[in-house]
Amino acid sequence: MHEAFVRGAEFRDLDLGRLRQFLSKLVVHLCVDEARRQSVERRVTQHRGLLPGALVDPAELACDRAEARWLASRIATLPNGDRQLVLMLTEGLSNRDIAAQLRTTTQCTHSSLYRIRLRVLGVRRGQIRRRAR
């Protein structure tokens, strides 16, 4: 209300006969402006792209990069067909999508990717214990 009174006092061509209507309209406009401001503020403070990023431990970042370099060097040693499977997986394709593109079954794709993981990690047959069901 104070803002409306100040604006009314500063308005040069104010018709005192219509002061009540003028103030009512002005208060409504000020309320709408405030609601819009709060809405924008709320959206800005909740928008993922505008939030500050989480602080990352430099040691963790260095380990992640070293692991990525190691993994890239291991993948480079794979045969072309296996490397193609891994690249399709890194592009976000599901096992079903990969199987459809390669005209194989989903189970075949799953098994192939499982064997590739074992090969990349350097795991030999018999080193992995199956979980008891």
pLDDT at residue 108, rounded to an integer = 93
The CA-based angle 63-65-69, given to 5 degrees, is: 115
- Residue 49 predicted with pLDDT over 80: no
Please give the model's pTM, rounded to 2 decimal places. Answer: 0.47
All structural domains of the chain with their residue ranges: 2-50, 58-121
What digits encode the pLDDT tens for the residues 90-117? 888 888 999 999 999 999 999 998 888 8
The CATH number of 58-121 is which of 1.10.260.40, 3.40.1390.30, 3.30.1370.30, 1.10.10.10? 1.10.10.10
Candidates 76, 85, 117, 77; CA nearest to 104 is: 85
